[in-house]
Each structure stands twice: as structure tokens, then as C-alpha cells.
Structure 1
Amino acid sequence: MFDLHRLRLLRELKHRGTLAAVATALSYAPSSVSQQLSQLEAEVGVRLLEPVGRRVRLTEQAEILVAHTEAVLERLERAEADIAASLTDLTGTLRIASFQTAALALVPTALDLLRDRHPHLRVHVTQMEPERALSALQARDFDLVLAEAYPGNPNPRPPELEEEDLLDDPLHLALPKPPDDAHAESPMAALRSLADHPWAMEPEGTSARHWAMTLCRDAGFEPDVRFETTDLLLHLRLVEQKHAAAFLPDLVWSGQHPTVALRQLPRGQRTRRIFTVVRRGRSQHPAVLACRDALRRAVILP
């Protein structure tokens, strides 16, 4: 029988990419990780790693082992959930990753609800963009991730991850100055009127940036992106002080009245989907169920 600890190290290598990253994540020496994987190769009787430059990659046989390891770990997580469900008091630590606007608008209220109902549950929250957080969720760094999906940007999820919709968050074109004739201007015309204006957008590689660039290009121009940050509060401040135009969601105001002029976006581009993501084996854990319930209630509370 193969050693589960060594199988987990192989799985970690697949998700984290390097021996050094595995060692850092698990507080091991890199030489120890390498030694354990060498012993696993001896157990299995086939080569599991092959050098690629200064790194290594998994062989076909290693990928087969990782797939089986994922199934074993999922079953163990279900066992952990069953044990937790058999107890009367919810304890332990729940690790959440959330992007900025959801962290500001929803997470504090959800934490209030969790504290009132489950005072012995320790909740750890990290602000992180979904692109990174979902990979970390697969690596078991988090138990639940708050994620977003922009119009026309479906992101297929690995089968071991499970999504649950939370809300549709309206998106707007935020203007650096009030429009001359807000009622006569169509959404596409409003976009084109800002073709020569500086823009604030999220960084390259994010789904928000891809969506925003596509929207501007569909309107017939290449935006002059001078400010790049995942901090949407900075986007808002730049619009308020007339330095940039931006696309802003409702959550950025956390229920307060908008502080800048807004225009409607073209049809089919007016909302982003906000949802929670967990590993399939973790989905029925009482802490995850409690958190998802608290987030749903946070959406509808004033």
C-alpha cells in the first residue's frame, strides 16, 4: 500500500509547482520533500518526476496517482464533515478567501452572524483575488472562496470544486464628470465618449480586465489604461477626482448612495455573478454550511 503522506506531497507538487513551494507551504526542508518523493517512486516502482530545466514535472503515472489521491482526500474530508456534524458545538477554524468588494460589503455581516450562532468557531479571512484563491482552495489552503464571474467570461471549474450562487452584482460605467445629456446618450455611445480619457482597470490576467478590455474594444476603441490595481476603492477615488473612468460594481458602495455619475452598460454586460466555491468533499461540513448560510443572509440584510 502506498504511503498517504508521500502521496499528499506529490499532490502538493502538482498544485504548487515547485519543490521549494511545497516545502514552504508545509514547513519542510526542500531536501526532505525530495527525499520523500524519491521514496514514493521506489514504492510505486516507476518514475514520477522528470526534470524540465531547473524544475520538475509529473509523469503520466504521477498524474494517475494524484487523481486517486484527490479521491482519497475528498473521502477523508467527507469523514471529517460527518464527525463535525455529529457534534453539538461547532468548533475549529474556517479559512475564507474573498476579493475586496465582497470582503467589505458582505464578510463583516456574515462574521457577525457566525459569531452569534457559533461563538466557538474561529474564522480566518484573507483578502485575495479569485484567480489566486481558487488555486489555493485546490491546494487546501482555504475551505471556502468568494469568487466572481464577469459577463462572457465563463471560467470552467475543476470537477473537485463546487459552486453556489450568492448574488448578481450590477455593473456600471463610472464617469469622471456628469454627462451633458444623460438621457439621450446610449450605453455604447457613453463608452465611446470616453475613448480618449484615462482609465482605471484591474491588472492584466484577471477576468475583470479581460471583460473590461473586450467591452471597450466592442465599442471601437483601445482604452488608455493608466491605473492598474485590484483595489476598486482606488478606482472609485480616481473617478471621484476626475483622473479616470472605470467600471464599478454596486458592492463598492456597500449599500450607500453612489458618489459619482453612473451610466448603464450595454445589454448582456450589466451584472457580475458572485458565488462561493468549496471543495466537493468539504461542501457538507457544518462550518461551510454555516458560512454559506451567513453569507446568504448578509446579502439580504440592510
Structure 2
Amino acid sequence: MLDLHRLRLLRELKHRGTLAAVAEALSYSPSSISQQLSVLEKEVGAPLLEPVGRRVRLTAQAEILVAHTEAVLERLERAEADLAASLEGIAGVLRVAAFQTAALALVPDALSLLRDAHPRLRIEITQREPESALPALLARDFDLVITEEYPGEPGPRPAGVEYAELGEDEIRLALPSGTPPAPGHAADGGLRGLADVPWVMEPEGTASRQWATRLCRAAGFEPDVRFESTDLLLHLRLVERGHAAALLPGLVWAGRAPTVPVDRLPAEHRIRRLFTASRRGGGGHPAVRAFRTALADGFANRNGSPGGLPHRD
């Protein structure tokens, strides 16, 4: 019979890419991982890895094994969830990854609710962008990820991940205080007339940057991006100090009134959708359900929702 521990090592290699990354994540030596996979090859009777430069690639037989291992682990996730649900109270550790504005605006309230309701539940939060958080979820570094989708930019949804919609967050155009509307720009007409304005945006390759660039190009210009950062609080500070324009989601103010003038974007371009993601089979775990409920309650009840933000006339 195939050894589940060795199968999990093979699965980890698929998700993490290198023997060194697997060894670091699991606190083993690379040689130990290699030896265990060599034993698995003997058990299977077929090669599982093939060299590609300095890396290795899974063979077709290894991919078959990983697919079955994923199914076994999903059943184990469901078993853990059922076992936890049979116990009195919610305890243990829940590891959550959240992007910056969700961590800022939603997570603290959820933690407060859960601290009172489930004092034996330990929640560990890591700020991580969805692009790296979702692969880490599949690699079992996290149990729950808060993720996002920008208008017209649906991100990839990995197999083995289940999603629950959290809500909508309106994105608005933020201009430095005192900036007069540019010729051709209207408060509800998008970005027309802003070709000469300096911008701050997230780095190339992020969903936010792809969406923002597409929006500017649709308005007839290539944005003059002078500042790049994943830190939206830095975006806000640059707008406040008069250095750049930005496209800021409502959550960046964490329920407080905006500190700069904001204009609405066209309806089809203004809403990003927020989700929570868990491994398939793990969504029924009481700790995951409790955290999702706390997030949803805080999101629904927070003050100063995006729909209520004032905008320039």
C-alpha cells in the first residue's frame, strides 16, 4: 500500500516547486525529502521526477498520484471538520491570510467578535496578497484566505479551492485636494481628461494594476505611473500630499470619512468583489465558518461603507 506521508511530500513538491522549498516548509533536509521520494518511486515502480535544468518536474505517473492524493486529503479535511463540529466549543488554530485593506478594515472587528465568542480559538493573521496567498492555501500554509476580484479581471480559481462571497467594495478616483477637474473629466464619467496627471498604482502583474491600466487606456491615455507600491496607505498619503492620483477602494478608510476628494467611476468599473477561500473540504470546519461569519457581520455593519462615501460635484 502506498504511504500517505510520501504521497504528501510529492504533492508538496508539485505546489512548492523545489525540493528546497518543501524541505524549508516541512522542516526537513532536502536530502531526506529526496530519499523519501526515491522510496515512493520504488513502491510505484515508475519514475516520478525528471530533471529540468536545476529543477525537477513531475512525470505523468506522479501527476496521477498527486490527483489521487488531493482527493484523499480533501476527505481528511472533511473528517477534521466533522470531528471538530462534534466537539463542544471551537478551539485550535486558524491561519488566515488577508490583503492589506481587508486586514485593516475587516479583520480587527472579526477578531474582537471571535475573542469573546470563542476564547479557545487561536487566530493567526498574515498580510499576503491573493496572488501568493492562494497557492499557499493549497500548500496548507493557511486555512482561509481573503481574496478579491476587480471589475472585468476575474482571477484564476485553482482547483481544490472553494469560495464564499463576502461583499462588494466600491473603488473611487482620488485626486489631490484642490485639484480642479481636468477638461473632459466629469465626476461620474471615468478618467477622461486626466492624461497628464501623475499616478500611484500597484506593481505590474497585480490584478489591481491590470484593471487600472485597462481603465486608463479605455479613457484614451497611458497612465503616467510615477509611484508603485502594494501599500494602499502609501497611495492615500501620496494623494493627500498632492503628489499623485489614485484609484482607492472604500475599505482603505476603514469606516472613516475620506481625507481627499473622491469621484465615482462608471458603474461597470467601480466594484471589486471580496471573497473568502478555503481548501475544498475545509469550508465546513467550525473555525472557518465562525471566522467567515464574523467577517460578514463586520462587513455588513461597518460604518462609512463605500456606497456612502461623498464625492466631488
Specify whether residues 181 and 196 from structure 1 end up closer, same or farther in structure 2 by C-alpha distance, changes over 3 A only. Answer: closer
Cα shift at 1:264: 1.4
TM-score (norm 2): 0.93
Aligned Cα RMSD in Å?
A: 1.6
1:92 alignment counterpart? 92
2:114 alignment counterpart? 114
2:75 alignment counterpart? 75
SS at match of 1:170: strand
1:301 alignment counterpart? 301
Counterpart residue identity of residue 88, structure 1: E
**C-alpha offsets along residues 180-205 of structure 1, whole Å, 9 cap, x if unaligned?**
359x8435866233212221111111
TM-score (norm 1): 0.96
CA separation in 1, counterparts of 2:70 and 2:226? 43
CA separation in 1, counterparts of 2:199 and 2:234? 12
CA separation in 1, counterparts of 2:260 and 2:154? 29
**C-alpha offsets along residues 87-131 of structure 1, whole Å, 9 cap, x if unaligned?**
002111000000000001000000011111100000000000001
Cα shift at 1:221: 1.0
**C-alpha offsets along residues 33-87 of structure 1, whole Å, 9 cap, x if unaligned?**
1111111111101111000000001111111100000000010111111110110
Counterpart residue identity of residue 122, structure 1: R
2:306 alignment counterpart? none
**C-alpha offsets along residues 141-183 of structure 1, whole Å, 9 cap, x if unaligned?**
000000010000112312311111111000001112445359x
2:283 alignment counterpart? 283
CA separation in 2, counterparts of 1:29 and 1:159? 29
CA contact (8 A) 2:198 2:245 kept: yes
SS at match of 1:37: helix
1:147 alignment counterpart? 147
1:191 alignment counterpart? 191
- Tell me if 1:267 matches 2:297: no
CA separation in 1, counterparts of 2:172 and 2:178? 14
Q: How many pairs were matched up?
A: 302
CA contact (8 A) 1:194 1:245 kept: no
- Gaps spanning 5+ residues in structure 1: where? none
Cα shift at 1:227: 1.1
- Tell me if 1:200 matches 2:200: yes
Counterpart residue identity of residue 141, structure 2: D
Cα shift at 1:28: 0.4
CA separation in 2, counterparts of 1:190 and 1:158? 33
CA separation in 2, counterparts of 1:177 and 1:116? 41
SS at match of 2:39: helix
